[in-house]
Structure 1
């Protein structure tokens, strides 16, 4: 018994000694510290600060920075360390942006704060990048506007010449900001975070009239290779790239527009915040299936680099959560990363309702209230009348009243523009695209009721503040222009009874130009001649058939004048030979919207109270498909009852039965492409 007791006591002493040793030794004395950092991104807000649809004149919870602000505050409160970045395309698009740029322009140039920054200054942004649409109102307005920001702006690939004719950056190319991070034990560490921003070099085409002779833009990837090593040499511990650029799977070419994937291959870039495409990454199914190129659409990685793109109009907040570890030599590296996007609403349902995930922030709502309310009043003033409603519900699949009225206005202007000049007598055509065809959600369609017409209706028909241009082309050029536009459609297999989607969702609707003044058919059983990037991919493919002018086959060698806008005439969309250089281009003094407004007003006055009509002339259609099988060809459009009522009047189009709606709230319609 005594021996057993002695052994037990001995064991107890041994255990206590072990415990004492473990307590007395410092835990993980040589362990490297680990920190967490949340990176938050907003992008492509486009002046949608209010949770309000200006076109429908109603409150909505599916868009609006006032709701995003709530997500930002919630996401910030969840973590110890965070930074907030905006990625541009901020100042243009919604009527609120037009109000600031037109009505309040002089006040902003004189030092008044742009309403965008009255809102964003409340959120403690760390830095912001300049998007391509920031240049739409000119450099003077851009610089005056961003002076109101309580945070720095960056853009690395825009240059100018100084007074000594030396090439210098037009804006700060990057910024390195020290940030104090706190670990789980409350210990503080200061790390240097580098931010570098980029904009598509195509701004020199899209806003040539504002920028030519003042600034110039260089290739994004070349610029990154120039400045990222410099940032590391100056002490940046981690580098966050902020390109206002989308995700393309094409091989890189100098001056490319969408380069997020190529940026992931630049050494020492630790995270990528991108945008421009108005899509979600991770999550958008159009980015599936490219793992072999380094695109992981589930985890949000581009070649292993965490990357995020959070939609548009404030509908999502992008999040990258990093775990940083410090090595023995003091360098920080990313050990782990998690990428996600958070929505301000749970999604759309058949009856156009949302479940709020983020209520509007009261402080931000109050900050924008005066300009928001003034905008609603400004755009609601009527100036003409319509005898019939105008809609864009089916503008991607048939000739359409919303495009027709723009075409009529442009042709009318073009004929008057050339009167008495050496161009007088040449055929005048119009190129116009549907700007509101569902690209930005199921509410993104034009529907103007018969009756009074307001400035808001003009903006709904023509969203962008483009200026008018005339391009002199050959008949062959016209045909190639249309071939590029026809890339809007997927190739349809006439032998397959399976469901086939007609519209290529990777093709932006604003690049689907309808050319009026000629007639033509589109054969969607043929392969597309051009890919979504505008590059010739199939020289033997021809979708445009029966192209005629005044009932006769078009003269491919003859001269034509096409009225369009500065974006397209300068190379926007990469249409063959349409680049502002290859073909003679004439510049008009007006915005396309001004031309449209003047035309509507003049035609309304001529109608003597009857109102203006905008009936499509059906100058284009699909070539009928001869087949022995029952084709099931579908496309997406508005789920609204207005759209369904319109479809009932179109023999070839019907809503799927039972009514089906996709995850984005867009309804599925069937279209009959067959012929007897």
Structure 2
């Protein structure tokens, strides 16, 4: 055979979504591995040479995976059950793979019938890849050899619990790629190099202009420009939908999140005297909208789903008053009962009198009168734990200014979100609201000059004075560009999920009164 077509299929950032539903209300939703499976099978039926890669953030993200990891982990991981059924060729570690701890991750790896790859997660002692395999080589009957290199965003230590990544170093993705791509081309003699990178793009795909602070979290553009020999770059992490783009001869793709699409790269290759050469590349996203879920696949994990649904519908208590979310922007512009309640739970658990938290997503429903576990996990969607860190008044003001940058400068019309918090990826979870201090945000002022009042117990916050504040572990590590928190003294580490604390508080009190003390608001 002198010519052949190779299809590379990618899933990424599935985040535990299997069934095509929204767990907050159990309504149908165009998400999940069940629908993606139908597309995978169609592609395999049409094409004889297919590689299927999972690009990270697979095993965490829904009540189903939470229930498995925290309550009923004595059986196989449901995400791995399905990935095995779909015959993945390889998977890459995403940052959320570590959220449930080393034990859950180790079980997932052991149960997988495919290798997990990451060339830049290294063993601190040996400097070798921590999980063994940096790459695989897939050889077809035609003699075509394809190298698949796995890379993970090295920014993980800024977010993750230290005990979950103990003994690991996270090396720069670009420098690591240079080493291993060279080895694949020269030692393994592969014809094509596919880099599966759990990370996104730090620059505009067309112009190369930086689109974010260059922290090393996303290095996709740099990989294309600086690493010689890459043919295909599979990306993720940012939850973007990217198709049809070529950067410096490298075809790139990113299939969104939650299983809303399957990434497809098609390569036309021709045989030459010294091996195979790619002569044409395309990338496209196959949407799961109007696709029927693979019922046979869903049946494999139906017991997990039944157990999760039963757990979600357990009533745990009542809310007296209003804690519903009707308008997310309104929640973020003045003190409200839902955020105040979560902050007060954090303060009680931590034994401190200052706290911050966020409304993580615009689809957060708030708490109805009769609260179930479903309501808790649909509002507090991450497996965050709590930390108390000691910060200065200046750190506090800097953090509030960072949050205040969430809003565009007010021009007399509607209050709008700063595009830096919505594009290319929604980051509503990076806007914090505080309890235990009194403050005003004036969005008519320039970014960096918006905190016009900041008081603690009736007195101005002193910039040099130290304050103990409880927040989630992601934020305490500096996640969301809250660099003022990095390397601050940890006064308390509370390694229990915040959702558990919220549920337990409601269970113990039975009735929770919605309260608002109006300690902060946005003005203009």
Asked if Structure 1 and Structure 2 have the same fold, meaning a TM-score greater than 0.5 normalized by the shorter chain, the answer is yes
SS of 1:168's equivalent? Answer: coil
Contact 2:51–2:89 under 8 Å retained in 1: yes
RMSD of aligned alpha carbons: 2.2
Tell me the residue number matched to 1:104.
72
User: In 2 relative to 1, CA 169–449 (structure 1 residues): closer, same or farther, beyond 3 Å?
Assistant: same
Tell me the residue number matched to 2:139.
179
Greater shift in the superposed pair: 358-367 or 208-217:
208-217
Q: Does 1:83 align with 2:51?
A: yes
Contact 1:380–1:456 under 8 Å retained in 2: yes
User: In 2 relative to 1, CA 253–388 (structure 1 residues): closer, same or farther, beyond 3 Å?
Assistant: closer
Q: Does 1:231 align with 2:184?
A: yes
Deviation, 1:585, is 4.2
Tell me the residue number matched to 2:234.
273
Alignment of 1:66-145 (within 5 A): 66-105=34-73, 107=74, 112-145=75-108
Contact 1:178–1:190 under 8 Å retained in 2: no
Contact 2:199–2:219 under 8 Å retained in 1: yes
Q: Does 1:519 align with 2:442?
A: no
Tell me the residue number matched to 2:405.
487
User: In 2 relative to 1, CA 255–555 (structure 1 residues): closer, same or farther, beyond 3 Å?
Assistant: closer
Alignment of 1:546-561 (within 5 A): 546-561=453-468
Q: Does 1:401 align with 2:334?
A: no
- State the distance in 2 between where 1:151 and 1:597 align: 37
- State the distance in 1 between where 2:133 and 2:222 align: 19
Tell me the residue number matched to 1:317.
262
Tell me the residue number matched to 1:653.
none
Alignment of 1:418-429 (within 5 A): 428-429=353-354
Deviation string, structure 1 residues 85-128 (Cα, Å, up to 9, x no partner): 111111111011111112222x2xxxx42111221222221111
SS of 1:116's equivalent? Answer: helix
SS of 1:235's equivalent? Answer: coil
User: In 2 relative to 1, CA 74–389 (structure 1 residues): closer, same or farther, beyond 3 Å?
Assistant: farther
Deviation, 1:72, is 1.3
Tell me the residue number matched to 1:598.
504
Tell me the residue number matched to 1:457.
375
Tell me the residue number matched to 2:224.
264
User: In 2 relative to 1, CA 559–199 (structure 1 residues): closer, same or farther, beyond 3 Å?
Assistant: same
Structure number with higher relative contact order (C-alpha < 8 Å, ≥ 6 residues apart): 2
Tell me the residue number matched to 1:502.
417
Tell me the residue number matched to 1:342.
286
Q: Does 1:246 align with 2:209?
A: no
Tell me the residue number matched to 1:208.
161
Contact 2:367–2:375 under 8 Å retained in 1: yes
- State the distance in 2 between where 1:338 and 1:454 align: 47
Contact 2:390–2:491 under 8 Å retained in 1: yes
- State the distance in 2 between where 1:387 and 1:47 align: 33
Alignment of 1:357-368 (within 5 A): 358-368=291-301
Tell me the residue number matched to 2:207.
none
Structure 2 spans left out of the alignment, 5+ residues: 204-209
- State the distance in 1 between where 2:311 and 2:108 align: 21
Contact 2:148–2:195 under 8 Å retained in 1: yes
Larger Rg: 1
Tell me the residue number matched to 2:206.
none
- State the distance in 1 between where 2:333 and 2:32 align: 30
Contact 2:8–2:266 under 8 Å retained in 1: yes
- State the distance in 1 between where 2:185 and 2:516 align: 58
User: In 2 relative to 1, CA 324–389 (structure 1 residues): closer, same or farther, beyond 3 Å?
Assistant: farther
Contact 1:238–1:269 under 8 Å retained in 2: yes
SS of 1:612's equivalent? Answer: strand
Q: Stretches of 4+ moved more than 6 A in 1? A: 251-255
1:412 to 342, 348, 353: 348
- State the distance in 1 between where 2:79 and 2:62 align: 12
Deviation, 1:589, is 4.1
Contact 1:135–1:210 under 8 Å retained in 2: no
Deviation string, structure 1 residues 514-564 (Cα, Å, up to 9, x no partner): 122122222323343xxxxxxxxxxxx312221222343322222211101
Alignment of 1:567-586 (within 5 A): 567-579=474-486, 581-586=487-492
Contact 2:102–2:165 under 8 Å retained in 1: no
Tell me the residue number matched to 2:12.
43
Alignment of 1:44-59 (within 5 A): 44-58=13-27
User: In 2 relative to 1, CA 337–399 (structure 1 residues): closer, same or farther, beyond 3 Å?
Assistant: farther
SS of 2:468's equivalent? Answer: strand
- State the distance in 2 between where 1:323 and 1:585 align: 58
Deviation, 1:268, is 0.8
SS of 1:568's equivalent? Answer: helix
- State the distance in 1 between where 2:446 and 2:415 align: 15
SS of 2:517's equivalent? Answer: coil
Deviation, 1:255, is 6.2
SS of 1:264's equivalent? Answer: helix
Deviation string, structure 1 residues 414-464 (Cα, Å, up to 9, x no partner): 32xx6xxxxxxxxx2111011122xxxxxx32243212x222222122111
Query: Between Structure 1 and Structure 2, how many residues are aligned?
Result: 509
User: In 2 relative to 1, CA 98–375 (structure 1 residues): closer, same or farther, beyond 3 Å?
Assistant: same
